Amino acid sequence: MVVMHFTYPVKPLTIACFSDLHIDSPSHCRAELLRDLEEAKKKRARIFINGDVWDAIFPRDKRFSGAQGMGKIDALVDYAVDMAFELLKPYANNIDFIGAGNHERTVVKYCYTDPVNNLIGRLNGIRSKQRNPIRHGGYSGFLTISFRDKKHSIREVWYYHHGKGGSAPVTKGAIDLYRVRAGNVADVYWLGHKHTNMGDIPRVRRVTHRGDLIAKPVFAFFTAGYQGKQEENNFEEKGYLINWGEESFYELNSVGNALINYIPKYNHKGNILLKKNIVKSVDVVT
């Protein structure tokens, strides 16, 4: 569990939320990921990544198959870090946060190295020195998003968790959103892992420090990620290709990210007010 603080000037801000990139997966959706990264960069968004940058499924893993081979290479973790660095280096000045998912946890446990830490070190090496370094978020924690000028400030508290459990094909993770809200107090709740696009915006009652009763919207959402490319196969020529996702689940994965748009403004007293909305990326096939 970590607590991290991010401070931004009082002007419109977009936070682009990504998770479950799975860049080395045979079913990785590279075109969709690059589309959304480019959109984030064009919007000058701050990019947060909530774990599972890689599949990181290596030969000793029960899910490994020949389709995941990386050629004549033994230093597979190093190769995976190189792959992620080459993909993400155009966005090094946009990325503020990278967390760890269950796939990175497996690498730390069995390979005794932290690929997220290694990737962040590489990206910070080319990042503008005028920006604070990219932070390592671990598996879960709290983020404070503050808008500040010389006299005033306002903040939102995020709770994030990479996620756990199965794919939740019926509920799409709705139960998980209620569980994290029950045990953690925040303005925004963000989960990944299940490759679903579920979201909810309930309102909660609060009493302000001045004693006023208010109703405030709470954002609770999943980011789907970029795994689940669909291809038609012909197994009669070279035989069956093992496909963990196809064998384990009935449904398709959702694909995409989420954009949280903050619009700060001043009221007549000079205090900062926040308006926000959430936008999900969706594929349109014609």
Buried b (16+ CB within 10 A) or exposed e, 233-254: eeeeeeeeeeebbeeeeeeebb
With respect to residue 100, please indicate whether it lies within any of the assigned structural domains: yes
With respect to residue 222, please indicate whether it lies within any of the assigned structural domains: yes
Q: In which element (H, E) is residue 248 found?
A: helix 244-248
With respect to residue 285, please indicate whether it lies within any of the assigned structural domains: no
Q: What is the pTM of this model?
A: 0.92
Question: Would you say 50 and 137 are in contact if contact means Cβ atoms under 8 Å apart?
Answer: yes
Per-residue pLDDT, 211: 93
Per-residue pLDDT, 269: 84
3-7, 39-43, 139-143, 168-172: least confidently modelled range: 168-172
pLDDT band for position 283 (50/70/90)? low
Query: Mean pLDDT in the chain?
Result: 91
pLDDT band for position 164 (50/70/90)? very high
**pLDDT digit string, tens, across residues 179-203:** 999 999 999 999 999 999 999 999 9
Please return the burial class of 77, using the count of CB atoms within 10 Å of its CB with bins 0-12, 13-18 and 19+.
middle
Q: Domain count for the chain, please give it.
A: 1
**pLDDT digit string, tens, across residues 193-237:** 999 999 999 999 989 888 999 999 999 999 999 998 877 777 888
Predicted confidence (pLDDT) at residue 2 exceeds the cutoff of 90: yes
With respect to residue 104, please indicate whether it lies within any of the assigned structural domains: yes
> Six-digit token pair at 147?
């808008």
* Residue type present at position 69: G
Residue 194 CA neighbour count, 13 Å, CB half: 24
pLDDT band for position 250 (50/70/90)? low
With respect to residue 212, please indicate whether it lies within any of the assigned structural domains: yes
Per-residue pLDDT, 286: 41
Buried b (16+ CB within 10 A) or exposed e, 127-159: beeeeeebbbbbbbbbbebebeeeeeeeebebb
> Six-digit token pair at 180?
């994290």
With respect to residue 286, please indicate whether it lies within any of the assigned structural domains: no
Containing domain of residue 144, as a range?
A: 2-280
pLDDT, mean of residues 258-267:
95
Distance of alpha carbon 18 from the chain centroid: 3
Instruction: Give the domain CATH number at 243.
Output: 3.60.21
CA triple 253-259-264, angle to 5 deg: 160
> In this prediction, what percent of the chain has a pLDDT beyond 90?
73
pLDDT, mean of residues 68-76:
70
With respect to residue 74, please indicate whether it lies within any of the assigned structural domains: yes
